[in-house]
Structure 1
Amino acid sequence: MSGGDDDKHLRPASRLVRGGRRKEWTGPVVNPPVWRGSTHLYDTDADRHAAGGNNADGQFFYGRRGAPTQWALAEALTQLEAGAYGTQLYPSGVAAIAGCMFAVLKPGDRLLMADNAYDPSRSMATGLLARMGVETTFFDPRDLDGFTAAVPGAKAVWLEAPGSLTFEMCDVPALAAAARAAGAVTMIDNTWASPLGFAALDHGCDIVMMSLSKHVGGHSDLMMGSASAGKRWYTALRRTAQELGQVVSPDDAALAARGLRTMGVRLEAQTRSALQIAAWLESQPQVARVLCPMLPSDPGHALWQRDFTGGCGLFAFVLASNDPAASARVADALQMFGIGYSWGGFESLALPIAPATYRSVMPCGTGGAPALRLAIGLEDADDLIADLAQALALV
């Protein structure tokens, strides 16, 4: 069991099982043990000096640089991400977003951010980054000509595909190519698809970020994020994370590694159920439209089909109602869907959404009508449909 570079030729399902399970990290057991320790000891002072100069996973030095529990998770994620040299771990998805921004941007730089990006990404741009002197311009990622005209002079671009809440697709390879031609760094939040569904670096992005709290953890019991990149930007990510004192706990890393082993089968099951439920919703008179690029009827389906190899259980739908309270009424009536943030766990969630609050240049995607985001879990799809049917009857 190597679990190392020799496994890169394997298909994703095999890499999910084997990744990061080096013999020197696992010993005689299947999983890397949970190494809890702030202090690492040396036989001699010369060994201490040597460890300090070898800043790489696999080298004991001090707790902030991790130990086998964290190294194994990072290596497994790197093996899944085609084109990655390394992966940096962070204590939350938002911390990973900040880690990417700080590794690339400095005062005086200009950032282009997709207008349908995750709200904390937008808030970071208008708050923390603005305070440090970074100018952000929001853009419609579906408008390639407009983007090509705007990108000269920008230091970086932040994408998300599909978009947050309203799930618009964009042409990631074309946007990344235009950014690279202008000398800009392309970063992408790839939490929705994960590397199993979209190989972001292979499609032209320079840095790919994920919230591991979602699909990788898979059980709604940890907070963590990651960023993967080729050697140049991975080195910058690692250096910046260390300068900020970013470290993940070994206990959370062990939970994330455990979740990673079953991520493939969970995503397949959740995607299958989501497609069944989304298609059913399209046929309901109380539903105006379903926002899901996996559906053939979706405006972004051709792009999703061209570039993506998988999906997930997250999508939204718009109610055929002018009553702003209708989405909350549906959510409150659901018995099998929890009401809560996050997604990617084994349980289904429903969340009323108002995306107009988080848009600057794009239409809100719902026409201002009441809408809900669904995160489909591992329950039986027919049971979830029955629950949605009784709740929609109240609209």
Structure 2
Amino acid sequence: MVDRGRSGNRRDWRTRLIQPEVEPPSDFVSLAPAVHRGSTVVFERLADVRDDWRSGRYTYGLYGTPTVLELGLRIADLEGARHSFVVPGGQAALVLVYLAFCTAGSHVLVPESAYGPNKELGPGLLQGLGISVETYPPMIGGDLAHLIRPETRLVWCESPGSITMEVQDVPAIVAAARAHGVPVALDNTYAAGILFDAFAAGVDVSVQALTKYVGGHSDLLLGTVSVRDEATYERVGSVNRLLGLAVSPDDCALALRGLETLAVRLDALERSTLIIAQWLKERPEVALVLHPAFPDCPGHEIWRNQFTGSASVFSIVFAEDWHARRVAGFVDALRLFRIGYSWGGTTSLVMAYPEDGSNSRSYGARLVRLNIGLEQTQDLIDDLKQALAS
């Protein structure tokens, strides 16, 4: 048998499939960030091996490739954070913060207006771990001090609330918590980490679902946990490493691309949303428009003083004579607004909430949340008009 594996001093072709002996030129420079995929990191010498996430050097793909770390650095730079950990989604970011600050016997305060799955963690996973979660009125401000116990280990804020849109007085809450040595975490997804300066307001941790505005196209799931200082970096980072919250570099590349158009998209979304919200405010079918830029939205004065803009998501409350079936008929009649959760993408969305839902408050089944996308504003108004007429 003829051995076709070798040619002169060259390694066997099968080996060269795994470890090639040729390389492309290394002077390629592109405007697009490179996508580095990989789990195993190799070292030139044994002495170079470092299994330490704090080292700032690449040790294992679980702790990030250049693509992942670039996204974290970019988010930290925008938010003014010490560091931003990139995790698989917004919910993963919330869980990471809970587990970094809480152990059995801990008490946590969460606003009633918070993202639903955040509140679901309390009677679910966290209760089983011996962690007690208590909800508080979102407009409580500095009076939160009365709810802090000796075992309180974390206070959450979300401003505005995901559905009912209350704008919280975050600096006042931070002051109340800091007087008792309790850290404050903020879900800053509505503001894309930009429209509200979380760290200037004193929070210790700022969480974002990059799925929303940073991704911007409804095609990725990512989150970040941005930390204020070195002590918080150590605390969150050590737990992040043990949880194995790896992310895809391909998703990170999409998020990096999304950052390039974030400013343009936020400006366009704000303009269109304000026009549509004002149009709805003048409709007789609508009793209330819950948009932070409107004076009758809870916490509007706080928003005006602390935010640099508004985003694409807001809610409406239909008039008293609207019942659940009528609301459902309106939602089903919409054509451009697609029925779905989330927000921040290019497509307009609508979602109604049940009367017994945790975010319905006193609005019953009359509450509907809208996310304005990048469709033409007048087309969206025409769609709302025909749905109301139907």
TM, length-normalised to structure 1 = 0.88
**Once the 2 structures are TM-superposed, how far is the Cα of residue 26 of structure 1 from its aligned partner?**
11
CA separation of 1:350 and 1:56: change in aligned 2, threshold 3 A: farther
Number of equivalenced pairs: 362
CA offset digits 1:279-331 (Å, max 9, x no partner): 11000011111111112332321110011112210001011133211221111
Contact 2:93/2:207 (<8 A) preserved: yes
Distance in 2 (CA, whole Å) between partners of 1:37 and 1:240 is 22
Structure 2 partner of 1:29: 30
**Once the 2 structures are TM-superposed, how far is the Cα of residue 54 of structure 1 from its aligned partner?**
6.1
Task: Within 5 Å, give how 1:175-254 maps onto structure 2.
Answer: 175-230=173-228, 231-254=230-253
Contact 1:318/1:366 (<8 A) preserved: no
CA separation of 1:338 and 1:134: change in aligned 2, threshold 3 A: same
Distance in 2 (CA, whole Å) between partners of 1:389 and 1:104 is 48
In structure 2, the gaps of 5 or more residues are 1-25
Structure 2 partner of 1:44: 45
1:163 alignment partner AA: G
Distance in 2 (CA, whole Å) between partners of 1:140 and 1:341 is 24
Structure 1 partner of 2:69: 71
Distance in 2 (CA, whole Å) between partners of 1:271 and 1:130 is 39
Distance in 2 (CA, whole Å) between partners of 1:301 and 1:80 is 25
**Once the 2 structures are TM-superposed, how far is the Cα of residue 44 of structure 1 from its aligned partner?**
1.1
Structure 1 partner of 2:141: 144
Distance in 2 (CA, whole Å) between partners of 1:365 and 1:269 is 31
Contact 1:166/1:366 (<8 A) preserved: no
User: Residue 124 of structure 1 is aligned with which of 118, 121, 127?
Assistant: 121
Task: Within 5 Å, give how 1:336-355 maps onto structure 2.
Answer: 336-354=336-354
SS of match in other structure, 1:194: coil
1:296 alignment partner AA: P
User: Residue 87 of structure 2 is aligned with which of 90, 93, 96?
Assistant: 90
Distance in 1 (CA, whole Å) between partners of 2:352 and 2:27 is 44
1:354 alignment partner AA: P
In structure 1, the gaps of 5 or more residues are 1-24
**Once the 2 structures are TM-superposed, how far is the Cα of residue 69 of structure 1 from its aligned partner?**
0.5
Task: Let me know the Cα RMSD of the aligned residues.
Answer: 1.7
Contact 2:142/2:175 (<8 A) preserved: no
Structure 1 partner of 2:358: 358
SS of match in other structure, 1:374: strand
Q: Higher mean Cα deviation, 288-297 or 69-78?
A: 288-297
SS of match in other structure, 1:373: strand
Distance in 2 (CA, whole Å) between partners of 1:384 and 1:322 is 22
Task: Within 5 Å, give how 1:136-175 maps onto structure 2.
Answer: 136-144=133-141, 146-153=143-150, 154-175=152-173
Distance in 1 (CA, whole Å) between partners of 2:27 and 2:128 is 45
TM, length-normalised to structure 2 = 0.89
Contact 1:157/1:187 (<8 A) preserved: yes
CA offset digits 1:335-381 (Å, max 9, x no partner): 1111111110011001112375215xxxx445214221100011111
Structure 1 partner of 2:385: 389
CA separation of 1:299 and 1:158: change in aligned 2, threshold 3 A: closer
